[in-house]
Amino acid sequence: MNNSFDPVFLLNTSYNDIKESDYWVHPNAGGISIGLSLENAQKVEIVISSRDFDDYIPEDDELPIPGCIYINDHLIELNSKEEQWVIMVLQKMLDQQKFGIPESLGAYTVNEVISFYSSDQALIFREKLLKG
């Protein structure tokens, strides 16, 4: 995986530029990893980490921070344009049943992620995380 991250390129990438996609629901169904292949052969990896505090060790830089979005291993700021781009991609993939039928684990997980980031839950969660 190319770990480069160019937010300008990303934000100028439309859903129609995605040629292929795959995903993996994390074992606790609280997170999901999505691989995108774009028309220009560039790859984008989106990781939405679980909101499970039990799996988090702040001293371990290798572990993702719970309840966060990463693009190509780069932490995405809460309420940023990059976060909005990820939510747009997730919603379009969901609408086109790229995560399976609406009752599937993938669709369920993505619906939960969209709900979480489209409400104040993400901010409340982040505040609890920082206090802990």
**Confidence class for position 48, pLDDT limits 50, 70, 90:** very high
Q: Please write the tens of the pLDDT for every residue from 24-44.
A: 998 876 789 999 999 888 999
Q: How many angstroms separate the CA atoms of 21 and 19, rounded?
A: 7
**43, 76, 85 from 29: Cα distances, Å:** 24, 21, 22
Of 64, 99, 93, 87, give the one whose Cα is nearest residue 11: 87
Q: Distance between CA atoms of 19 and 115, rounded to whole angstroms?
A: 26
> What is the pLDDT at residue 35?
96
Coil, strand or helix: which one is 100?
coil
- Summarize pLDDT for 57-101 with one digit per residue, the tens: 556 666 677 889 999 999 999 999 999 999 999 999 999 999 999
For residue 71, which of 90, 46, 48, 88 has the smallest C-alpha distance?
46
Question: What is the signed CA dihedral for 71, 39, 22, 115, rounded to 10 degrees?
Answer: 50
Percent of the chain with pLDDT over 90: 58
